[in-house]
Amino acid sequence: MLRTALTRLAVHTGTVAAGGDWVEDMKDASGANHWSLRYEDFRKVLADTAKASGVVIRLNSLAVSITVKPEKAAVKLASGELIVGDLVVAADGRDEVEGKRPVSRPMMLGDQDHAKFKRLMMYNALIPGSAMRSDPALARFLPKGVGVPKAVPHVAAFSSVLYQVEQGSVILWHGDSYGAIGFPTRMDEFCIHVYCPAAEPAHDSILMAGPADLLRAMEAGKAEPQSLAAAAHTVVGIPVRDRPSLEDWVHPDGPMIVIGEAAHPLTTGALTALNLAAGDGMLLGRLFKNLHRKEQIGSFLSALVENRQKRITDVRNAERLNPATLSLPAGVDQARYLKTTVQHMGDEGIQAFGEEAIRNTFSYDPEDEADTCSDVHARTHSIS
């Protein structure tokens, strides 16, 4: 979905805090359009791009261990096969999927790996378009062409804003303890992510829930969010947790680097998680396009870590403290602290927050940054 306009509402009152043309902002800052995709669709884009570049993707190949030596590294699969290479790139993520056991984080963190429950649950729900079309209050969220953004009345614990876009609407609800984001998908469905307070669950993994579970969790909310939840045919619950990041992504014993959420896990459900993970891979791939000797691997990995860690720190700070970002986990978590900031924010503050939100998350190209790193490396090498 291509966002064409943007309006932000204050958390409690529903009054407009800022407005503007999202596409023009994006084009000015990054020279490109911004598309909203479900994680599933985004992963498919990445997989198709990798295949087109000659990458061989082996499905259902489970890594069980990694061995790192000074000159090489090896990955052992559950089948017993051993894959040896000059470099192992571990992008095996976190442990939130049932049956998935990442290898790299235990290797790098040992017993220091932990997960802190944020007293929040994120529910991912899918609502069929047919159910929404039968309810005029919900039908307006389905695709119907380009329009003008308009405020949706404040509802109980939620205030909301509707973004009209070329392929449908992106709608956000903001509250002190509750938040939600919803958008239509290409499968004639509407996807909604809901964040709400919760006691710590008995299990740490993803839960298959139902509409009744989501409605109980949303008891402080009213109207559209609850109506959408009641019409959902699939509901998944995920405990929202914080996990520590790796201080150094490169293994101390040899050629192995950890990237993506395995290296820098964001709060569960953060909207920029895949964006940042993909950026790690893009910058790494572009750097290694300039690799001519095996001896360069170490310096290229150091350049990647230095560049990406600064970027990720900036994004995390913006998500946690910037009321103009569209990452709801942080917004919900920090809403009570941001209330005064939002209420007293003038035009200059609005512009500054908005520019920071766009710049940190979207208005950069990892491949351009990789070229800059390569130029610096080449100049340094020629001088030495």
- What is the CATH number for 186? 3.30.9
* Whether 238 and 131 share a structural domain: yes
**Residue where a domain terminates, one of 227, 242, 257:** 242
- Residue 97 forms part of a structural domain: no
* Whether 236 and 298 share a structural domain: no
Q: Please determine, for residue 193, whether its predicted confidence score (pLDDT) is greater than 50.
A: yes
- Residue 383 forms part of a structural domain: yes
Among candidate residues 163, 145, 136, the one with its CA nearest the CA of residue 7: 163
Predicted confidence band of residue 220 (pLDDT cuts 50, 70, 90): low
* Whether 209 and 325 share a structural domain: no
* Whether 11 and 148 share a structural domain: yes
* Whether 285 and 205 share a structural domain: no
Among candidate residues 148, 136, 104, 87, the one with its CA nearest the CA of residue 284: 87
**Residue where a domain terminates, one of 191, 209, 242:** 242
Report the pLDDT value the prediction gives residue 192, as an integer from 0 to 100.
85
pTM, entire model: 0.75
User: In which domain, by residue range, is 156 found?
Assistant: 6-26+116-242
Report the pLDDT value the prediction gives residue 142, as an integer from 0 to 100.
82
* Whether 177 and 120 share a structural domain: yes
* Whether 121 and 209 share a structural domain: yes
* Whether 164 and 131 share a structural domain: yes
Report the pLDDT value the prediction gives residue 68, as an integer from 0 to 100.
96
Count the domains in the chain.
Answer: 2
Three-state SS for the chain is: CEECCEEEECCCCCCEEEEECHHHHHHHHHCCCCECCCHHHHHHHHHHHHHHCCCCCCCCCCEEEEEECCCCEEEEECCCCEEEECCEEECCCCCCCCCCCCCHHHHHHHHHCCCEEEEEEEEEEEEEHHHHHCCHHHHCCCCCCCCCCEEEEEECCEEEEEEEECCEEEEEEECCCCEEEEEECCCCEEEEEEEEECCCCCCCCCEEECHHHHHHHCCCCCHHHHHHHHCCCEEEEEEEEECCCCCCCECCCCCEEECHHHCCCCCCCCCCHHHHHHHHHHHHHHHHHCCCCHHHHHHHHHHHHHHHHHHHHHHHHHHHHCCCCCCHHHHHHHHHHHHHHHHCCCHHHHHHHHHHHHHHHCCCCHHHHHHHHHHHHHHHHHHC
In the chain, the percentage of residues whose pLDDT exceeds 90 is: 20
* Whether 238 and 283 share a structural domain: no
**Residue where a domain terminates, one of 195, 226, 242:** 242
Report the pLDDT value the prediction gives residue 271, as an integer from 0 to 100.
67
- Between 1-10, 131-140, 190-199, the lowest mean confidence (pLDDT) is in 1-10
- Residue 381 forms part of a structural domain: yes
* Whether 21 and 145 share a structural domain: yes
In the chain, the percentage of residues whose pLDDT exceeds 70 is: 62
- Residue 326 forms part of a structural domain: yes
* Whether 305 and 167 share a structural domain: no
- Residue 79 forms part of a structural domain: no
- Residue 22 forms part of a structural domain: yes
| Cα 3 to Cα 34: distance, rounded to the nearest angstrom | 7
**pLDDT tens readout for residues 295-337:** 999 999 998 998 898 888 888 777 766 655 655 444 455 555 5
Report the pLDDT value the prediction gives residue 13, as an integer from 0 to 100.
40
- Residue 18 forms part of a structural domain: yes
- Residue 287 forms part of a structural domain: yes
* Whether 144 and 197 share a structural domain: yes
Comparison of pLDDT for 380 and 43, the residue scoring more: 43
**pLDDT tens readout for residues 259-274:** 999 999 887 767 677 7
